[in-house]
Structure 1
């Protein structure tokens, strides 16, 4: 690998960018406001979020401070997500490849992260998963019922 290739953004850069975007949105900051806080243009923030430009270690440290998270936050889940370096990611939508999260979902994430008791977080997560599973089962039952009786 040549020196120039090693400077190209990678899957990890996209993961870090997505995490920057997620946290910025959780804090209800615009790209412009985050740029002001970091003495950057909003275009540079946008390039970081899309994973187009790599974030240096020093800059990531600054971003973590402004976004009030530890540096490790940006790498959570990176092992799974870094494998997404597939050709279809070459032309990412304007949202940087993130699923658009509603304000309600962002509020839920923010509140969940504030719960320090790991046991309580686990219980809440299990409850939400059970509710989602029950909902999916109900939808599947409705689909089967709408198709009529099985043919012999």
Structure 2
């Protein structure tokens, strides 16, 4: 099956999410705001937000500019070498799957998922 232009496979989405998480990790680790990094990279902070969330793919030229603004090699943002512990250990596989499903949901689906999660969080534990 041929993917429609603009659509991403789940594997592509997972990769984009990981690149975005690495950008965010290194930005926060450097104590930099999205505005500062975005300005240094020649983009808007809204665009950086979309990269960090994995909503938009990062072009190679933009990734190089972001890496330079963070003082890290592009290879780090692409996942070459070892991922920072925060990315590797922050989420269990089922949590990552939930996040991936949420990001693919339509706006009304996202709203319903947030309401469901809030309700479930208030339920007493039955362990």
Shorter-chain TM-score: what band? 0.5 to 0.7
Instruction: Indicate if the aligned counterparts of 2:38 and 2:66 stay in contact, CA closer than 8 A.
Output: no
Q: 2:7 matched to which residue of 1?
A: 5
Q: 2:102 matched to which residue of 1?
A: 91
Moved over 3 A (4+): 6-9
Larger radius of gyration: 1
Output the aligned Cα RMSD: 2.7
Counterparts of 1:57 and 1:7 in 2: how far apart (Å)?
19
Unpaired runs of 5+ residues, structure 2, are 104-127
Normalised by the length of structure 1, the TM-score is 0.50
* SS of structure 2 residue aligned to 1:5: coil
Normalised by the length of structure 2, the TM-score is 0.59
Counterparts of 1:53 and 1:22 in 2: how far apart (Å)?
17
2:69 to 61, 66, 71: 66
* SS of structure 2 residue aligned to 1:10: helix
* SS of structure 2 residue aligned to 1:4: coil
